[in-house]
């Protein structure tokens, strides 16, 4: 495997990102599956699946988690209206951030399917970075 010396650096970066990301509390049992919070909680669980898979080099788990992130449910029409109202002109940037996370997750799944550890690490870092960026930009305005 090439670039073995980079793995500790990338793993440290991933660990730092994970440590800095707070996962939302579990939604109530009767939570609306089209609610943003419900979707975000599931995305957090899928990212945990990816991270756990990474530590034990379980490429199947990494790929499955990444695919679940890429294919996450869409918000309900009512929730979309709420998000648009909360973000105003920034809604387009929110949609673009969601697209970036989707594309990152697709690339991560492909790297994991190829069992390419270096590429998988690179894509995990990219996905985490874009998730954190989106949270930084929008979480406060969208929290209920």
**Would you state the pLDDT for residue 15?**
44
**C-alpha distances in Å from residue 5, one per residue of 2, 13, 14, 124:** 8, 14, 15, 17
> What is the number of H-type helices and E-type strands within the chain?
6, 0
For residues 81-104, average pLDDT: 97
**Would you state the pLDDT for residue 33?**
80
Domain range summary for the chain, segments of one domain joined by +: 36-142
Asked if 101 contacts 72 with a C-beta cutoff of 8 angstroms, the reply is no
What does pLDDT average to over the chain? 85
- Say how far apart CA 57 and CA 92 lie, in whole Å: 36
Is the pLDDT at 108 greater than 60, yes or no?
A: yes
- Say how far apart CA 91 and CA 80 lie, in whole Å: 10
Is the pLDDT at 97 greater than 70, yes or no?
A: yes
- Say how far apart CA 103 and CA 134 lie, in whole Å: 14
CATH class of 36-142: mainly alpha
Is the pLDDT at 16 greater than 70, yes or no?
A: no
Within a 10 A sphere around the Cβ of 75, how many other Cβ atoms? Answer: 19
**Would you state the pLDDT for residue 107?**
98
**Would you state the pLDDT for residue 26?**
53
Which pair of tokens denotes residue 42? 């599931």
Which pair of tokens denotes residue 32? 């609306």
**C-alpha distances in Å from residue 3, one per residue of 7, 12, 52:** 7, 15, 21
């Amino acid at each position: 495997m090439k670039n073995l010396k980079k793995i500790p650096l990338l793993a440290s970066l991933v660990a730092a990102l994970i440590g800095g990301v707070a996962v939302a509390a579990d939604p109530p049992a009767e939570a609306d599956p089209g609610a943003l919070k419900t979707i975000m909680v599931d995305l957090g669980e899928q990212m945990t699946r990816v991270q756990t898979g990474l530590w034990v080099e379980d490429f199947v788990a990494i790929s499955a988690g990444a695919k679940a992130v890429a294919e996450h449910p869409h918000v309900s029409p009512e929730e979309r209206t709420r998000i648009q109202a909360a973000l105003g002109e920034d809604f387009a940037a929110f949609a673009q951030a969601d697209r970036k996370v989707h594309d990152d997750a697709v690339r991560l799944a492909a790297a994991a399917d190829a069992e390419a550890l270096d590429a998988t690490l690179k894509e995990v870092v990219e996905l985490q970075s874009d998730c954190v960026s989106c949270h930084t930009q929008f979480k406060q305005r969208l929290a209920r």
